[in-house]
Chains A and B, each alone.
Chain A
Amino acid sequence: MIEITNLTKKFDRFTAVDHLNLTIGTGEFFGLLGPNGAGKTTTISMLSTVLLPTEGEIRIDGVKLDRKASAQKRTLSVITQEYSMRQDMTMEQVMEYQGRLYFLPRHVIKERTQELLEFTGLSEYRKRVVRHLSGGMKRKLMVCRALMTEPEILLLDEPTAGMDAFARRQMWNLLRQLHSRGITILLTTHYIDEAQTLCDRVALIHQGKLDVVDTPAALIRSLGEFAVDEMDQDNLSSRYFGSREEAIAYLAGAGENAALRATTLEDVFVARSGRRLSGGRK
């Protein structure tokens, strides 16, 4: 279980994460959503101890996480937003370095490297230097690296950024498989459909503060499960309804350029972020 209590990170006068409180259960697939600059990556960086909090703490299974907590860090693996690895090493060397950092025996490193590179279709490029890989290949390599250590907790910061639609689906399937094995997954993503498809619960954060935490279904229900989109000149506006009947009744009175559809998590995200923004202007 990951317990985040009053987690705050300040950079000089700027507060990136502001008294964040979250509890992520063991084996849960949890999504952290928010607009650019909301504090998602900073939170992941604190969970991976690259950044230390200004205030508050993180506990993993009741033990405080800091840079000395080797036993807790053994359970963690991170896929960062940036390609954080040695650019002048070959794929095999990147994997071996990871295995060595986690004190894995040599034969285990070799076996898992072969297994994971084959699984992700990178095997034939194993002697290729990271610098010469495409963005998608680097991303896959980061996944292989993270899985090398068979983590109990996987922190994913925008794991599908830069991937094409096919590769994204492959990644989703992989994450589902990992989740089914009981791995706790914390995911940040810009792709709201990704969070809706994969996550058990999601948290929306805005300007470092927690807005709401719930299951995607509950969040959608809170807004209304049915949406009517109306196109008025250049402006698209949406109205949300708790029942199909209400939505159809509204649609009957609306103009020609109106359509009924199911509400998505993205609607919740946009509605809540928009409310926050307009609230901030007042």
Chain B
Amino acid sequence: MGIITVLWEKWVEFKRDFYKITMAAMISPLMYLLIFGMGIQTTSHGEPYLNFLIPGLVCMATMTGSFSAVAQNMSVQRLYEKALDQVMVSPTPLWQFILGQILGGSLRGFYAGGVILLLTLPIKTGLTFNGWSVLIMLLNGTVFATIALVLSFLAKSYTDAPRYTAYIITPMSFLCNTFFSTETMPGGFRQFVSVLPLSQTCAMMRRVAAGEGPGMAGFGILLSYLAVFSGIAVFYIYRKKNL
């Protein structure tokens, strides 16, 4: 299966860059945790702010981990190394290559989120993380890996990947229910931000962390993103004239 080939390639990369990947996954969330969660002692929704922050940081780490794993890797492979040519000419069905990239990206996101979960484990927060949390993290990683894949097909230069992070990932990290609730935002903007994938992921994660069910609407929205961006990715890889 072509999917296994892509996952093998991701595994080779992961093993080689294990320390770099782990450090990159940890540093930003750890800083936010120390500064906003433990340094500035405050409350949110009647609870310690740390309880609000941790699920958001886990989701943010998942998003960043999966997005950067795919966006940087694919942009470099396509535009700089030209290694994508090796895949294009091979008999591996290209939909399997796409699916492998999405799953590989999702697993990298899951790893990044998992590292944060492990780091926060010693803090007695009373938050719940269970199978739903794993599913939400994987789905979130899948969505952002797919978005990254589409953007990497659109990139004109391999330096575009960091730009995408600056334009998309950084604003989402701060606005989408990660550090503060979207409820306090003005009307139209709130509605826009609340349907963005990270907002949905954070909301679901918090519900699960509070011991409730995740809510199916969030899954519906994330799956819609997944369907749309996977469709675009498959269309590009089969139909884009100048890949």
**Interfacial residues, chain A to chain B (CB-CB below 8 A):** 11, 48-52, 54, 67-68, 70-71, 73-74, 76-78, 80, 82-89, 93, 96-98, 100-103, 145
Contact = CB atoms under 8 A, between A and B. Distances in A.
B92 interface: yes
Interface residues of B, number: 30
Contact of A97 (B9, B82, B85, B241): B9
Given A49-B88, A73-B90, A102-B91, A84 B83 contact: yes
A11 B8 CA distance: 35
Contact of A98 (B86, B237, B243): B86
Nearest to B81: A87
A71 B85 contact: no
What 4 pairs across the A-B complex have the smallest Cβ distances? A84-B82, A101-B90, A100-B5, A74-B91
A128 B59 CA distance: 38
Given A67-B88, A67-B237, A76-B89, 13 more contacts: A48-B88, A50-B84, A50-B89, A68-B238, A80-B82, A84-B82, A84-B83, A86-B81, A87-B83, A89-B12, A98-B90, A100-B4, A101-B2
A48 B238 CA distance: 13
Contacts of B91: 70-71, 73-74, 101-103
Nearest to B94: A67
A180 B92 CA distance: 28
B88 A100 contact: no
B124 interface: no
B69 to A, nearest CB: 14
B9 A48 contact: no
B142 to A, nearest CB: 23
A11 B242 CA distance: 9
Nearest to A72: B91
Contacts of B4: 100
Interface in B1-35: 2, 4-5, 8-9, 12-13, 16
Contacts of A97: 5, 8-9, 86
Contacts, number: 84
A101 B5 contact: yes
Interface of B: 2, 4-5, 8-9, 12-13, 16, 77, 81-94, 237-243
Given A73-B91, A100-B8, A101-B90, A51 B243 contact: yes
A78 B242 contact: no
Contacts of A54: 241
Contacts of B88: 48-50, 67
Contact of B242 (A51, A76, A80, A103): A51
Chain B at the A interface: SS class: helix
B2 A84 contact: no
Contact of A85 (B2, B86, B237): B86
A86 B84 CA distance: 9
A68 B235 CA distance: 12
B85 A86 contact: no
Contacts of A96: 8
Contact of B89 (A49, A100, A103): A49
Nearest to B238: A67
A87 B82 CA distance: 10
A84 B78 CA distance: 9
A141 to B, nearest CB: 12
Contacts of A84: 81-83, 85-86
Nearest to A78: B89
Given A100-B8, A101-B2, A101-B90, A88 B13 contact: yes
Nearest to B93: A70
A67 B237 CA distance: 8
A86 to B, nearest CB: 5
Contacts of A78: 85, 89
B153 to A, nearest CB: 13
Contacts of B12: 89, 93
A51 B82 contact: no
A57 to B, nearest CB: 14
Contacts of B93: 68, 70
